[in-house]
Amino acid sequence: MTVESLVDDFSSLGFQAIELNKASDVVMKMKQSGAKIFLTFTSNMVTTGLRGFFAQLVKLGMADVLVTTSASLEEDIIKSLGDKVELSSFHADDVAMRERGENRIGNLAIRTESYMKFEDKMLEFLEKIYEKKKRIDVSELIKELGLMLGDENSILYQAARNDVPIFCPGIADSAIGFHLYMFQQKHPDFIVDVIRDVNNIILASSYDEKKGLISLGGSISKHYAIFSGLMNGGFDYAVYLTTSHASSGSMSGATTKEAMSWGKIKDSASAATVNGDVTINFPLVMIRAMEKLRKQGILK
């Protein structure tokens, strides 16, 4: 059985299986209509190992704009340097992990040594960028970093190479934000402009072109993208994959229906929401859609 036939059969299973099948159909419609596709994801998706899959999606033209959180950038760079995220346990001895120099993310672990290598490499990269320009937009900074990586499995590298902008409105957070802060202490005239990227993401699409949103999780990355869509008349297609529910009132749990009340998603939009683990659901949604698009000659 192929992934395509498996997810085809989900259409008659009920519950979230039907929504997953519908989500894959909506992704297909995005590509078939020539819509500009916004893909948003939180950093834990990169931690899990979906990093290479995201890079492949960019390479294959399944995403035109990326929006993510700051730790995605640093973990992509860390993995490009040859370090790995290791399997741990949700029930690990965290005190013992701390003593061994391990940092837990759910049932995964990243060694402190990896962040030390990252710090050295970031300093090297930032010095080179600083020589070229003293004021830089966040998306432009990320592209410069990606071009210096040269790793085919890197999201930043594939995005830079394929001219897909990456927006990170919360870049001041996490280790990468701290290293930018430390670099600015040494070079006070070095400015990373977060606000100018608001203009850049709005201009990344237009009012007249069709727009699609694939949002994994929620957080600032999801809202930043759908707000830009609001500025351009709303999204024509939307797929949400999340473990959160609307009862929390959070952005992560906010439904496509709720987004319509704001005009972020059009009233006539094709939309689907899948509640469940994104590490399982997202590959199924995308692989099935891509298998069908390839048969249609839309995807190489």
What does pTM read for this prediction? Answer: 0.95
Residue 6 tokens read as 């498996």
CA 124 vs. chain centroid, Å, equals: 25
Q: How far apart are the first and last CA of the chain?
A: 22
Residue 210 confidence (pLDDT)? 97
Answer yes or no: is pLDDT of 234 > 90.
yes
Residue 20 confidence (pLDDT)? 97
Residue 67 confidence (pLDDT)? 98
pLDDT confidence tier of residue 273, bands split at 50, 70 and 90: very high
Answer yes or no: is pLDDT of 225 > 90.
yes
Cα–Cα distance for residue pair 64/39, rounded to 1 Å = 8
pLDDT tens digits for range 199-223: 999 999 999 999 999 999 988 999 9
Q: Which of 242-246, 247-251, 266-270 shows the lowest per-residue confidence on average (mean pLDDT)?
A: 247-251
- Write down the mean pLDDT value for the chain: 95
Q: Are 218 and 244 in contact (CB under 8 A)?
A: yes
pLDDT tens digits for range 169-181: 999 999 999 999 9
Residue 296 confidence (pLDDT)? 96
Q: What percent of the chain has pLDDT over 70?
A: 100
Closest-CA residue to 271 (of 30, 16, 8, 12): 30
Instruction: Determine the residue type at 185.
Output: Q
Angle, helices 70-80 vs 174-186, to 10°: value is 90
Residue 249 confidence (pLDDT)? 87
Written out in words, the top-level CATH class of the domain with range 3-70+134-295 is alpha beta
Residue 247 confidence (pLDDT)? 86
Cα–Cα distance for residue pair 210/144, rounded to 1 Å = 29
Active-site residues: which are they?
Answer: 264
pLDDT confidence tier of residue 62, bands split at 50, 70 and 90: very high
Cα–Cα distance for residue pair 128/227, rounded to 1 Å = 33
Q: Are 30 and 212 in contact (CB under 8 A)?
A: yes
Closest-CA residue to 141 (of 153, 132, 129, 151): 129
What is the number of other CB atoms lying within 10 angstroms of the CB of residue 232?
18
Rg from Cα positions in the chain? 19
Q: Are 40 and 214 in contact (CB under 8 A)?
A: yes
More confident: 34 or 245:
34
Domain layout of the chain by residue ranges: 3-70+134-295
Cα–Cα distance for residue pair 84/157, rounded to 1 Å = 18
Q: What is the DSSP letter of 136?
A: E
Measured CA to CA in angstroms, residue 110 lies from 48, 49, 85, 178 at distances of 11, 13, 5, 18
Which DSSP helix (H) or strand (E) runs through 79? helix 70-80
Residue 255 confidence (pLDDT)? 86
pLDDT tens digits for range 136-180: 999 999 999 999 998 999 999 999 999 999 999 999 999 999 999
Q: Are 247 and 214 in contact (CB under 8 A)?
A: no
